[in-house]
Every structure is written in structure tokens, then in C-alpha cells.
């Protein structure tokens, strides 16, 4: 993430992203992938973004960045699920 992009995040979100990435990293690297825990972590992060007034497109981009930060893999198989969970936080109401 470029420094400019990090500066564009609402106050408190950058720290939340770091904490969330750590929790997600632990869940992803567990002996068995804890899918419910991973989904919960991603959805809570997206809810926080939405609570700060972030639009869905930006929240999806931030969620993708979170997954890449947590997994170290820009082509992670987790990306598709994370995007689905993020969008559902905006449109499944």
C-alpha cells in the first residue's frame, strides 16, 4: 500500500487494518483453515469500513488489500470469498 493510500483511510482504520490483518493471518495459517473465523474477521472489518461511510467499491479494494497483507499472496484463493463477504455486508440487507 502506498503511503498516500494509507493516509486516505479514515482515522482509526489503518490501525484496525493492521490488527485485523494479524488476526486474519493467524486464522489462515492455523492447522485447519477456520473458515467461520476468517469470515467473521473479514465481515467485522467491512462493517467498520461501512460505519466510517466508506463506499462499497473502496471497501472491496481495502478488503482485498487486507487479505493480501495477511496472506502475503496477491492471488490468494481467499480473495474471492472475502470479496463476496464484503459485498454482502453492503447489499444483503
Q: pLDDT tens digit string along 27-73?
A: 877 766 678 888 999 999 999 999 999 999 999 999 999 999 999 99
pLDDT in tens, 2-30: 444 555 777 778 888 888 888 888 887 77
CA gap 83, 88 in Å, rounded? 8
Give the pLDDT score at 2: 44
Measured in residues, the chain has a length of 93
Which residues form the domain of 13? Answer: 3-91
SS3 74: coil
Reduced to 3 states (helix: H, G, I; strand: E, B; else coil), residue 41 is: helix
Q: What is the pTM of this model?
A: 0.76
For cell 467491512, the residue is 46
Total structural domains in the chain? 1
For 49-79, give one letter per residue: b (16+ CB within 10 A) or e.
Answer: beeeebeeeebbebbbbbbbbbbeeeebebb
Amino acid at each position: 500500500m502506498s503511503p498516500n493510500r494509507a493516509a486516505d483511510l479514515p482515522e482509526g482504520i489503518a490501525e484496525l487494518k493492521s490488527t485485523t490483518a494479524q488476526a486474519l493471518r493467524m486464522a489462515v495459517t492455523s492447522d485447519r483453515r477456520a473458515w467461520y473465523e476468517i469470515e467473521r474477521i473479514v465481515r467485522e472489518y467491512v462493517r467498520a469500513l461501512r460505519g466510517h461511510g466508506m463506499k462499497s467499491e473502496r471497501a472491496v479494494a481495502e478488503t482485498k488489500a487486507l487479505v493480501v497483507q495477511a496472506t502475503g499472496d496477491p492471488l490468494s484463493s481467499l480473495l474471492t470469498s472475502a470479496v463476496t463477504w464484503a459485498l454482502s455486508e453492503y447489499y444483503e440487507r
